[in-house]
Structure 1
Amino acid sequence: MQFSVKVSNYQKNLMLNICDSDLLGKDIIQDKLTMSISKSYYGEKIVGKQEAEELLKKSSIINMVGDQTVSLSIELGIGSENGVKRISGVPFLIVFKM
């Protein structure tokens, strides 16, 4: 299980953009909506499950896309199934920790 991540600081918060590595560089299209899983936004480095878990736990703002990524966040109690949206069947979730 591999994830593509980009970590940055945003207004004194740790922001994590994370996706399933196999989605990197793809466009997800549904009707008139297109979500680009760009390398510039998600592609700083590839990490394994353990590092992905650590990043999910310590980040305050998380943008995530993909079955494995969203499932992992829900398993860790970071995300909720209620907040998951889907574009052409691909789940995405945005989390803001307070």
Structure 2
Amino acid sequence: MQFSVKITEYQKNLMLNICDADLLGKNIVQNELTMTISKSYYGDQIIEEDEAKKLLENSTIINMVGKNTISLSLELGIGSENGIKKISGVPFLIVFKM
């Protein structure tokens, strides 16, 4: 399983943008709502599951998109089912760790 990620520092926090690699570059549309999964936001590098786990555990702000990404996050106890939203069946979740 591969993931596409971009890591930045934001106000002294590690911010992780992560998505299922196969979603990179796609536009998800539902009615008048469009979510662009752009390379500039999610696409600095492609990583494998072990590296994704480490990044999810060590990041304080996480923007994630995709079934595999969110399943992995929930498996690690990061985020909750209640916070997941979907656009055309594609789940996304934003987590702020305190």
Normalised to the residue count of structure 1, the TM-score between the two structures is 0.99
SS of the residue 1:62 aligns to: strand
Determine the structure 2 residue equivalent to 1:17: 17
SS of the residue 2:51 aligns to: helix
Quick one: percent identity of the two aligned structures? 73
Normalised to the residue count of structure 2, the TM-score between the two structures is 0.99
Tell me whether 1:32 sits opposite 2:32 in the alignment. Answer: yes
Could you tell me how far 1:79 is from its partner in structure 2?
1.2
Determine the structure 2 residue equivalent to 1:75: 75
Amino acid at match of 1:90: V
Q: What root-mean-square deviation, in Å, do the aligned CA atoms of Structure 1 and Structure 2 show?
A: 0.3
Gaps of 5+ in 2: none
> How many correspondences in the alignment?
98
Gaps of 5+ in 1: none
Could you tell me how far 1:41 is from its partner in structure 2?
0.1
User: Aligned partners of 1:71, 1:27: CA distance in 2, in Å?
Assistant: 21
